[in-house]
Amino acid sequence: MDRQSVFIIITTAIVVLSGITAGFLVLQQKQKEEEEEEIPQSLTGTFVPPPAYIKGRNFTFPYYENLELNPLTGDYRPRYKNLTDEEYKNLFKDLPKFPKNFYVFLKAYYEGKISDITRLSENYWKQPEFYGFDQIYVDRYYVPEKRNPNLWTPRGFGVFPGIACRQVKAGDTVTINFFIHTSPGVEACQVLELIPILPPRAYNIIGEVMFEQPSNAEKYFDLAILNKDEIYKERIEPKLEDIYKIPESHGIILLPPTLYWVDGKQYGFPPSYLQMIDLQIKVHPDTPKGRYVIGLNITEPNRKIQEEYYWIFLDEGQPDYEELQNTKFYHAKDLVFGSGEYTTKYYWFELILDVV
């Protein structure tokens, strides 16, 4: 199996383990009970359904009971093996401090004891360990002696959680948060266009239809992804004719590599490797009560936008070229656009929206 294949497995696993399966298991159970009990909701935050598949089973993420202070980082991140002190520090230097109770919190989250992701501190959600990073990935991508010099990884990202639930009322305007992150070991920058949609139906992870979207749903919701990459907003969009600009309701983000080199030294996980996405939903005042599904498609921007990104990425004549390499592109090997061959039938993110 080549490394690109590994990455789609990683991405899929993250989406699956982080929410889609668990969320729809909860929904399916509720539907079998003929909705005698409403899905518990937060009116102020995004509710992530508890992953019932973990209860009564072994915790699937690495779980450390007694974390010790790590003198290299001044926090409680595990001291992974097979890295020199310099390699280790360079890998994690741009991340927030790792909390002592990180794995206790993570375990509680995956057992459904904590559910509202809008209350998460970045000390938790910006850690790659929150998405399953452990010694296996260190060895696979960050230990030079173990890495195949003839292979490199141009793309890979994950969306977390895979599914969320929210209660709203007619006339509300709400913002739903979820996260998109670069997968471990990716050596290119990825430019993603994010498109909020009202799909025809909601699925579970094995392809079963959970419910059909009301046929006139598009009449009642205005959707927008608020995230616009700074390079696009400030340097590219002003140059474009209107026909080439992404629609106002679409988002566009630039994900940096999680493996790059500066002056022969290896680095990983820059600050923007993981980004919180803002999905704004305006519910029309005349929206009927009921259950709706909102999805996310991820695609590549048009060729004109791609070319403009390439100019900025490659043109060493720009006065701020080095600054861009150090703070935006992180010396990536290349630029790639969209999800490539890694597509999903069931949307990258699903929001089950109950209008009450």
User: What would the pLDDT profile of 88-137 be if each residue is shown by its tens digit?
Assistant: 999 999 999 999 999 888 888 777 777 776 687 899 999 999 988 999 99
**pLDDT of 148:** 83
* The most confident of 23-32, 125-134, 221-230, by mean pLDDT: 221-230
Residue 256 preceded by cis peptide, ω within 30: no
Q: Tell me if the pTM is above 0.75.
A: yes
21 closest CA partner among 51, 48, 47, 46: 51
Q: Which of 149-153, 181-185, 186-190, 287-291 has the lowest average pLDDT?
A: 149-153
Average pLDDT over residues 218-244: 98
Average pLDDT over residues 4-12: 36
Q: Would you say 119 and 177 are in contact if contact means Cβ atoms under 8 Å apart?
A: no
**pLDDT of 343:** 53
**pLDDT of 345:** 57
Which pLDDT band holds residue 342 (cuts at 50, 70, 90)? Answer: low
**pLDDT of 215:** 87
pLDDT above 90: residue 50: no
- Residue 307, domain extent: 3-355
Q: How many domains does the chain have?
A: 1
